[in-house]
Homo-oligomer: A and B are copies of this chain.
Amino acid sequence: MDIGLIKELKENYQIVFHDINLLEQAFTHSSYVNEHRNLQISDNERLEFLGDAVLEIQVSDYLFRQYPNLPEGKLTRLRSAIVREDSLSKFAKECHFDKYVLLGKGEENSGGRNRASLLCDLFESFLGSLYLDQGYGAALKFIEAVIFPKVAAGDFTRELDHKTKLQEVLQKNGDVSIEYRLVAEVGPAHERIFSIEVYANGNLIGAGEGKSKKLAEQDAAAKALQDLEA
């Protein structure tokens, strides 16, 4: 067990494992086990199975409460964006987990230490080990430190369309009426351009254009969001 990992977990996340074997297992890739059969150690795959489900409920619970107006389809899309391989492998790197995972030689030589799928599994297995060692609350605390601030900062809401995002931003602190008004249609039928304005509680907050009403509404919402976030 690399002492560096124990130190980093303590300093960066105030995590100290009771059962250090669990932490060790979380960082043991199957390729390492295969090359060290005499050690009789277990790989991290069962912990990954568990950690995957821990992550799923904690992210779901957070999104459900954080986005009270978002319909199920969009919640699902947002959740998928957060827990997908690409995202989790980045979280694993930010936590420096890639430095500490035990790999077999073959896996190491073929670049496993930087492979997204391996790092994603590693992130989940760590979460599974933390959940087993210290329970739901400790796992949640870690997720709150590593993932939720990025969700709150909008790193994943690009998955949402502009109109939905605008609605979420405006209605965060209560009900706000949002209205899209068609203010102009110009050009011949096959090249028509629509102009739309968007109002919040009757105040103009953005205007946009597009080749259909839908596209013009999305454009207006995007402009309003730019102004709101500026």
Contacts and interface: CB of A to CB of B under 8 A. Distances in A.
A50 B46 contact: no
Q: Dominant SS at the A interface?
A: helix
A11 interface: no
Contact of A50 (B45, B53, B64, B71): B64
A48 interface: yes
A75 B56 contact: no
Interface string A24-64: 00000000000000000000011011101110110111001
A32 to B, nearest CB: 16
A227 interface: no
Interface residues on A, range: 20 to 34
Given A53-B56, A56-B53, A136-B136, A46 B61 contact: no
Interface centre among A48, A57, A64 (most CB of B within 10 A): A57
B46 A75 contact: yes
Query: So how many copies of this chain end up in the complex?
Result: 2
Contacts of A46: 64, 70-72, 75
A181 to B, nearest CB: 23
B48 A72 contact: yes
Contact of A54 (B52, B57, B73): B57
A46 B136 CA distance: 23
A60 B50 contact: yes
B49 A64 contact: yes
A57 B72 CA distance: 19
A64 B50 CA distance: 7
A76 interface: yes
Interface centre among A45, A52, A53, A60 (most CB of B within 10 A): A53
A90 to B, nearest CB: 22
Interface centre among A52, A70, A79 (most CB of B within 10 A): A52
13 contacts: A45-B72, A46-B64, A46-B70, A46-B72, A48-B72, A49-B72, A49-B79, A50-B61, A50-B64, A53-B56, A53-B61, A56-B57, A136-B136
